[in-house]
């Protein structure tokens, strides 16, 4: 599932194509993805000018004309491709926009957990998906003090806590595992114990991991718009995630695998306490 760095990479990749560009074609292949798509999506977008995209959590937001915002969420299996010319759409390409100058943006989602919405700019603070989001982990709001306060009385694991988008936005399974390893904190530890010193380790660990992943995405971007249009976000050099049974890069103990509320955690039983 794409997390903050991948969504940021996609946002950066589509910027040059769509910013200031007028929409000439709109294709809507289904009435729903995870939820029903807005009615009149086609007519609302047609002929409109797109402005610079931005990101909130795992959502890409594209201001459309003067009054509306298009929200794209990649869900579990969604991807966005861009083309210099009109592509032949494939089976799972559910939404596509053509621009003046022939560029196309295509939204593909085989499992259909993604989502597309269009809403008035004035509703941005009250939008049901956006209003519940916690702070951006790379913002000044996300500090050890903030984390210490939010974990108070929380008996869930710190891993589950980090995946809760209402506490901090954009972190998923991969970067939670990586950040907890970097901070030397066990994913099993109760969230309420991560205050003070541990919060002071975890917050910068999260920020370093995310920044490195964004940088890697950015540097790989130029070469990663494939002839097939894919924005190939760089497969990050992950130290823990997906490496169950391999050696911990720090102490060589076997990396452990643990199921936590249906999600897999990877951790070192020696380095993470
Ligand atoms: Zn270790």
For the stretch 21-42, pLDDT in tens is 999 999 999 898 999 999 899 9
Q: What does the chain come to in residues?
A: 273
In a domain, 134, yes or no: no
Alpha carbons 268 and 225: distance in angstroms, whole number: 35
Task: Choose one of 123, 153, 188: the last residue of a domain.
Answer: 123
∠ CA 77-254-183, nearest 5°, is 70
pTM above 0.85, yes or no: yes
116 lies in the same domain as 188: no
CATH number of the domain at 96, please: 3.20.190.10
- What phi, psi does 173 have (nearest 5°)? -60, -40
How far, in Å, from the CA of 239 to the mean position of ligand 1?
11
How far, in Å, from the CA of 260 to the mean position of ligand 1?
20
15 lies in the same domain as 80: yes
In a domain, 11, yes or no: yes
Task: Choose one of 94, 123, 152: the last residue of a domain.
Answer: 123
160 lies in the same domain as 250: yes
Domain with 82 in it: 4-123
Cβ within 8 Å of residue 66, ≥6 positions away: 121
Residue-wise pLDDT for 142-167, tens only, equals 999 999 999 999 999 999 999 999 99
How far, in Å, from the CA of 179 to the mean position of ligand 1?
14
* Residues designated as active site: 2-3, 58, 263
How far, in Å, from the CA of 216 to the mean position of ligand 1?
24
CATH number of the domain at 205, please: 1.10.8.50
Return the structure tokens found at 10: 């996609």
How far, in Å, from the CA of 142 to the mean position of ligand 1?
27
Please check the confidence at residue 224 and state whether its pLDDT lies above 70: no
The 8-class DSSP code of residue 104 comes to E
Residue-wise pLDDT for 167-178, tens only, equals 999 999 999 999
Alpha carbons 143 and 145: distance in angstroms, whole number: 5
Residue-wise pLDDT for 84-113, tens only, equals 999 999 999 999 999 999 999 999 998 889
Please check the confidence at residue 71 and state whether its pLDDT lies above 60: yes
């Amino acid at each position: 599932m794409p997390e903050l760095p991948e969504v940021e990479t996609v946002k950066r990749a589509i910027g040059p194509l769509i910013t200031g560009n007028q929409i000439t074609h709109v294709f809507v292949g289904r009435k729903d993805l995870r939820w029903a798509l807005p009615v009149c999506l086609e007519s609302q977008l047609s002929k409109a000018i797109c402005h610079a995209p931005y990101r909130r959590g795992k959502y890409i937001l594209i201001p459309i004309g003067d009054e509306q915002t298009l929200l794209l969420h990649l869900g579990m299996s969604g991807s966005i491709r861009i083309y210099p010319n009109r592509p032949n759409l494939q089976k799972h390409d559910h939404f596509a926009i053509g621009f003046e100058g022939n560029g196309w943006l295509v939204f593909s989602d085989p499992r259909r957990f993604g989502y597309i919405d269009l809403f008035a700019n004035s509703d941005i603070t009250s939008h049901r998906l956006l209003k519940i989001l916690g702070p951006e982990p790379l913002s000044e709001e996300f500090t050890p003090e903030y984390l210490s306060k939010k974990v108070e009385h929380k008996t869930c694991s710190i891993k589950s806590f980090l995946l809760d988008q209402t506490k901090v936005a954009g972190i998923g399974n991969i970067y939670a595992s990586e950040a907890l390893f970097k901070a030397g904190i066990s994913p099993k530890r109760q969230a309420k114990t991560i205050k003070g010193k541990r919060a002071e380790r975890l917050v910068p660990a999260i920020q370093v991991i995310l920044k490195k992943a964004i940088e890697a995405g950015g540097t790989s971007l130029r070469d990663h718009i494939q002839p097939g249009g894919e924005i190939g976000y760089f497969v990050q050099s992950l130290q823990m995630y997906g490496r169950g049974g391999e050696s911990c890069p720090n102490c060589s103990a076997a990396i452990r695998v643990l199921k936590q509320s249906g999600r897999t955690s990877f951790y070192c039983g020696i380095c993470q306490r």
